[in-house]
Amino acid sequence: MTPTRADVCAAAIADAFADDGEIFASPMGLLPMLGVRLCRLTQNPDLVISDGESLFLASPPPLFAKGDVVEGWIPFRRVFDVVAYGKRHVMMGATQVDRHGNQNISAIGDFARPTRQLLGSRGAPGNTVNNRTSYWVPKHSPRVFVEQVDVVSGVGPTRAKAAGTGASRYHDIHRIVSNLAVFDLHGPGDTLRLLSVHPGVTLDEVREASGCDVHVDGDGAVPESRLPTPEELVLVNEVLDPKGLRFKEVPRDA
C-alpha cells in the first residue's frame, strides 16, 4: 500500500497521543478520531476512548461505527468532571491559530461587530487551561495560521502564564497537526515551531501557506513527517476506515 497524505496525517495525530499513557482521549473531528484509534491499537493501548456520547469503549471501532465491547459509562455531565480534573488530551479544530498558540473558533472580524459568527468558544477555554490540548487543521492557509487571532477561544501559553497559576498550572498545548506539517509551541517565547513537513511538502510551501512567522530550529533543515508503518496502513485501510472517509478532509491527490 502506498501511503496517502491523509495516512501521514493520521500517523502524526497518533504520535501526538503516543506518550499520554492512561488518559481520556477526546478527538474532535474525523482525522483526530482516526489518529486516536490508530494510536490505541499500536502505540498506546492504555488510551481511554469513548463513543462520543456516553460510553467508554474497550476496542476502537471503525469510524462512526458503534463499539462491540463497552468497558465503562460516561454520561455527558461526567465529562465536565474529567475536564476539570485534567486527565484528558483533547484534539480540537481551529478556524484560526496564531504564532503564540491562541486558537479561535468563535468569530471572524472585530469582536464588537464580527463579519462571521462561528461555533462560539464552547469548551476551548476550559480545555486549554485544564487539559493537554492539540489542534488539527485540515486546510493549512494564511487565513488559519495568523499573526493574531480575532477572538481568543483556546488560550496560548503566554496568555495562560500572564493570567496566573490557575490558568498555567495544567496548560499544555502539545501539537498542531495540519495537512502540510506538524508544529509545537517551543519556538522563542512560546511561539510556533515547525517540527516536520509531510512528504512532498517543502519548508517554503509551509511558510507561504502561513500568515505568521514559523520558527525552525538550527540550520533550517526540517525533517519529514514519518510514513505510516505497514501495520498502521493495514489498520487504517482494513479496520478503522475501510470506506475512505478520511479523504473527505485530506483528498487522495493532496
- Total domains in the chain come to 1
The CATH number given to whatever domain includes residue 210 is: 3.40.1080.10
Task: Label residue 51 exposed, middle or buried (CB < 10 Å: 0-12, 13-18, 19+).
Answer: middle
- Containing 192, the helix (H) or strand (E) segment is strand 191-197
Return phi, psi of residue 117, to 5°: -95, 130
Residue 45 inside a domain? The answer is: yes
DSSP state of 246: G
From the list 42, 16, 65, 68, the residue with the least C-alpha distance to 176 is: 16
Residue 231 inside a domain? The answer is: yes
Question: Which alpha helices (DSSP H) does the chain contain, by range?
Answer: 5-16, 30-42, 76-85, 124-130, 157-163, 165-168, 203-208, 230-234
The Cα angle at residue 19 between residues 33 and 141, in degrees rounded to 5: 50
Residue 254 inside a domain? The answer is: no
Each residue of 141-166: pLDDT tens digit? 999 999 999 999 999 999 999 999 99
Each residue of 15-46: pLDDT tens digit? 999 999 999 999 999 999 999 999 999 999 99
Percent of the chain residues topping a pLDDT of 70: 99
DSSP state of 215: B
Provide CB contacts within 8 A for 254, sequence distance 6+: 4, 5, 6, 179
The whole-number pLDDT of residue 229 equals 98
From the list 117, 111, 116, 119, the residue with the least C-alpha distance to 150 is: 111
Range of the domain at 38: 5-248
Each residue of 40-99: pLDDT tens digit? 999 999 999 987 777 788 888 888 777 667 888 877 777 777 777 779 999 999 999 999
Residue 253 inside a domain? The answer is: no
Residue 242 inside a domain? The answer is: yes
The Cα angle at residue 128 between residues 60 and 14, in degrees rounded to 5: 30
